[in-house]
């Protein structure tokens, strides 16, 4: 009896200490090749909004705001309740973990989650990522979709047309997972880069 009480106490204390920082339970299967995709569930908040602020005002770098609509497989019907997870390098090109970051340190501290609203909308506010140090790899944002009742999978990275490292060969080699991820950016009145990308669930996803 004492042992049962002790185990119960430890479980309760662990829940209180960890709170919402505990990794979310995976309810979907992985679709296709998706390296480290399960890290999207590590530290996922219990409640998600269609809009996420990934980088606060103290984060170095140029402001970047990307929005769009996620559609069902038909490419026309908005898809509500879809989780989009994104992560990217900082303004020096590193996946730098935050000082208090507990989970998914390989993805760095610039990571966030959105869940599409009734209109299928999503938006994230962050800073523009830099290319990896001493590399010719284009600037990019990694996205992972978690589609209810289906599974989670990679889609094409967000790439930027004005990036000098984005070559013609790189542009032509995009597989179009979820639709092409190459987007145009322009600055708004506040000096933030603004971009738009719509996503189609399952489009060109192997094993979907």
Q: 2-22 pLDDT, tens per residue?
A: 334 333 333 333 332 233 334
* Domain count of the fold of the chain: 1
Does 9 fall in a domain? no
Average pLDDT over residues 176-202: 98
61 has pLDDT over 50: yes
CATH number at residue 125: 2.60.130.10
Does 162 fall in a domain? yes
Does 29 fall in a domain? yes
pLDDT digits (tens, 9 = 90+) for 66-102: 999 999 999 999 999 999 999 999 999 999 999 999 9
Does 69 fall in a domain? yes
pLDDT digits (tens, 9 = 90+) for 133-152: 999 999 999 999 999 999 99
Query: Could you tell me the pTM of the whole model?
Result: 0.88
pLDDT of residue 28: 72
Does 73 fall in a domain? yes
pLDDT of residue 198: 98
pLDDT of residue 27: 61
Instruction: Determine the structural domain holding residue 53 and report its residue range.
Output: 23-200
Does 97 fall in a domain? yes
Does 63 fall in a domain? yes
Phi, psi of 86 (to 5 degrees): -135, 150
Is residue 139 a contact partner of residue 107, using CB atoms and an 8 Å limit? no
Range list of β-strands (E), 23-62: 51-53
46 has pLDDT over 70: yes
Does 75 fall in a domain? yes
Average pLDDT over residues 19-40: 73
pLDDT top residue among 17 and 35: 35
Q: Which two tokens stand for residue 116?
A: 């599409």
Is residue 200 a contact partner of residue 71, using CB atoms and an 8 Å limit? yes
Provide the 3-class DSSP secondary structure of residue 134.
coil
């Amino acid at each position: 009896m004492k042992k049962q009480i002790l185990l119960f106490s430890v479980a309760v204390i662990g829940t209180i200490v960890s709170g919402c920082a505990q990794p979310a339970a995976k309810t979907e299967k992985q679709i296709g090749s998706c390296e480290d995709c399960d890290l999207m569930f590590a530290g996922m908040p219990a409640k998600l909004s269609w809009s996420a602020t990934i980088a606060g005002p103290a984060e170095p770098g140029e402001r970047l705001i990307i929005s769009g609509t996620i559609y069902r497989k038909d490419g026309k019907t908005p898809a509500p309740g879809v989780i989009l997870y994104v992560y990217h390098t900082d303004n020096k090109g590193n996946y730098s973990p935050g000082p208090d970051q507990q989970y998914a340190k390989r993805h760095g501290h610039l990571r966030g989650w959105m869940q599409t609203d009734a209109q299928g909308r999503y938006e994230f506010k962050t800073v523009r990522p830099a290319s990896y140090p001493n590399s010719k790899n284009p600037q990019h944002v990694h996205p992972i979709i978690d589609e209810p009742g289906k599974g989670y999978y990679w889609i094409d990275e967000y790439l930027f047309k004005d990036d000098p490292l984005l070559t013609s060969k790189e542009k032509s080699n995009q597989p179009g997972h979820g639709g092409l991820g190459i987007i145009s950016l322009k600055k708004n009145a506040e000096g933030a880069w603004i971009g738009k990308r719509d996503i189609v669930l399952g489009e060109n996803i192997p094993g979907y």
